[in-house]
Amino acid sequence: MDLLNTLVDKGLRRELPTREEALAVLATSDDDLLDVVAAAGKVRRHWFGRRVKLNYLVNLKSGLCPEDCSYCSQRLGSDTGILKYTWLKPDEASKAAAAGLAGGAKRVCLVASGRGPTDRDIDRVAGTIKAIKDQNEGVEVCACLGLLSDGQAERLREAGADAYNHNLNTSESTYGDITTTHTYADRVDTVTKAHAAGLSACSGLIAGMGESDEDLVDVVFSLRELDPDSVPVNFLIPVEGTPLAKEWHLTPQRCLRILAMVRFVCPDIEVRIAGGREVHLRTQQPLALHLANSIFLGDYLTTEGQAGQADLEMIADAGFEVEGTDQVTLPEHRVRAGGGCGSHESAGCGSHEDAGCGSHDGAGCGSHEAGGVCGTAAVAAEPRTDLVAVRRRGAGTDLAPNA
């Protein structure tokens, strides 16, 4: 297919595809899907080999958020039955992080619900970063605390944070349909602040909220312009009690096409499969490793992921290897350019939930006509509500975490 040959050539040269080419990837048929995966896989292997970076989420503060993000289980007034607790103490957060690091994670993502941190919150997180780094040499720490005020990114950097996550989530034109308590521009501003402070920027999207193909391409091109080191791709987890609980538009094939499009647009950037992979990719998760070079290990912020051991077995069975702490995630030209993500001096993040470190399942901060599902895509199957489980273990509980 001429389109795929062109996209591979551009990806190997770090050349931006055209919008028409990106849209064409989303419009490919299921008959062509394996060809699409193989083509994007060439680009992924060129820049990242067969390494898979593991990231681990610690939800420092759950629920109690004043924002109204429609996808989020921690939103204002939500009745989702999630765990709700205020700030974990540094030793509690460090203990939670240790479980993920023991399972092979090289990055810990510290997430807190809310519009944004106060200066006192920054002090709290600084203490937590110190506790984690004192006990784990070479660990990368990403903070995800919502909208940043002037000077806060610099303080996090001084405290030892390597990266900051804040997702754009969807296109600028449809952002107002998803949340009304802050703007798309607010999100761009926070990513810009993180970048300017020398933190590795991590920013991604949520697919499956009813967006169009054009919306998906818009947000990915906007992300490419912001130049983050890491782009987490979340697939909507339709949690009961949220306004988007009935949005079940995704198929495994659709998710693979989205990941392929992101890889072609962001060839040398860490692409992370974040929240929702178990719900929507299901048995096709191993195939997605040919497109993305990073995943979250274990559970998400408010919902459960598949067993951590199953993640490790999936990576090995698919012929990939877990990236070690002695390996640099990003290609050399990005690290030298000051990106940091993955050199264990400076890194990146992602999990869909607003404050949410790249893995959408409830924190954070269009139109949802089914039109987002490309005309050539298969109609989504019956909702798999059995795959959506509220987290009842790990941080904020007395039970062992899933790592």
Condensed to tens digits (0 to 9), the pLDDT of residues 117-141 reads 999 999 999 999 999 999 998 899 9
Give the mean pLDDT of 250-277. Answer: 97
In this prediction, residue 336 carries a pLDDT of 62
Q: Which pLDDT tens digit goes with each residue over 147-202?
A: 999 999 999 999 999 999 999 999 999 999 989 999 999 999 999 999 999 999 99
Catalytic (active site) residue 72 = yes
* Per-residue pLDDT at 380: 59
Q: What is residue 374's predicted lDDT score, i.e. its pLDDT?
A: 40
Neighbours of 18 (CB within 10 A): 12
Structure tokens at 203: 């920013």
Question: How many CA within 13 A on the CB side of residue 181?
Answer: 16
Which tokens hold the place of 309? Answer: 């051991």
391, 400 in Cβ contact below 8 A?
Answer: no
Q: Which of 44, 51, 115, 142 is catalytic?
A: 142
Q: Does residue 394 carry a pLDDT above 50? A: yes
Beta strands in 138-237 (DSSP E): 140-144, 163-165, 200-202, 205-207, 230-235
**Higher per-residue confidence, 125 vs 351:** 125
Given 51, 72, 157, 357, the catalytic residue:
72
H helix and E strand count, the chain: 13, 12
What does pLDDT average to over the chain? 89
- Cβ 125 vs Cβ 165: under 8 Å: no
- Catalytic residue (choose from 44, 107, 109, 157): 109
Tell me how far CA of residue 397 lies from CA of 82, 145, 365, in angstroms.
12, 21, 24
pLDDT level of residue 357 (50, 70, 90 thresholds): low
Of 367 and 393, which is predicted with more confidence? 393
Do the Cβ atoms of 131 and 165 come closer than 8 Å? no
Q: Which of 202, 266, 341, 365 is catalytic?
A: 202
What Å distances lie between residue 247 and 210, 231, 279, 373, CA to CA? 7, 23, 13, 11
Identify the band that residue 361 occupies on the pLDDT scale cut at 50, 70 and 90.
low
E strand or H helix at 57:
strand 51-61
The Cα 147–Cα 133 span in angstroms is: 24
On the 0-12 / 13-18 / 19+ scale of CB atoms within 10 A, 31 is exposed
Catalytic residue of the set 69, 144, 266, 349: 69
69 is catalytic: yes
Query: Does 357 qualify as catalytic in the annotation?
Result: no
Say if residue 21's pLDDT is above 90. yes
Residue 142 annotated as catalytic: yes
Select which of 51, 272, 334, 391 is catalytic: 272
pLDDT of residue 49: 98
Q: Are strands 294-296 and 140-144 parallel, antiparallel or unpaired?
A: unpaired
Token pair, residue 275, equals 């929240």
Nearest Cα to Cα of residue 165 among 259, 270, 63: 270
H or E element: which one contains 295? strand 294-296
Compute the distance between CA of residue 32 and CA of residue 149 in angstroms, rounded to an integer: 46
For residue 342, what pLDDT is reported?
40
Average pLDDT in the 227-251 region? Answer: 93
- Catalytic-role residue among 65, 266, 341, 349: 65
pLDDT in tens, 56-95: 999 999 888 888 888 888 887 777 888 888 999 999 999 9
CATH architecture of 2-387: Alpha-Beta Barrel (3.20)
DSSP-based helix, strand, coil % in the chain, nearest 5: 40, 15, 45
Confidence of residue 365 (pLDDT cuts 50, 70, 90): very low
How do 358-360 and 163-165 pair as beta strands?
A: unpaired
Residue 339 has pLDDT above 80, yes or no: no
Give the pLDDT band (50/70/90) at residue 328.
Answer: very high
> Is there a catalytic annotation at residue 341?
no
What integer is the mean pLDDT of 271-288? 96
- The amino acid at 177: D
The whole-number pLDDT of residue 222 equals 98
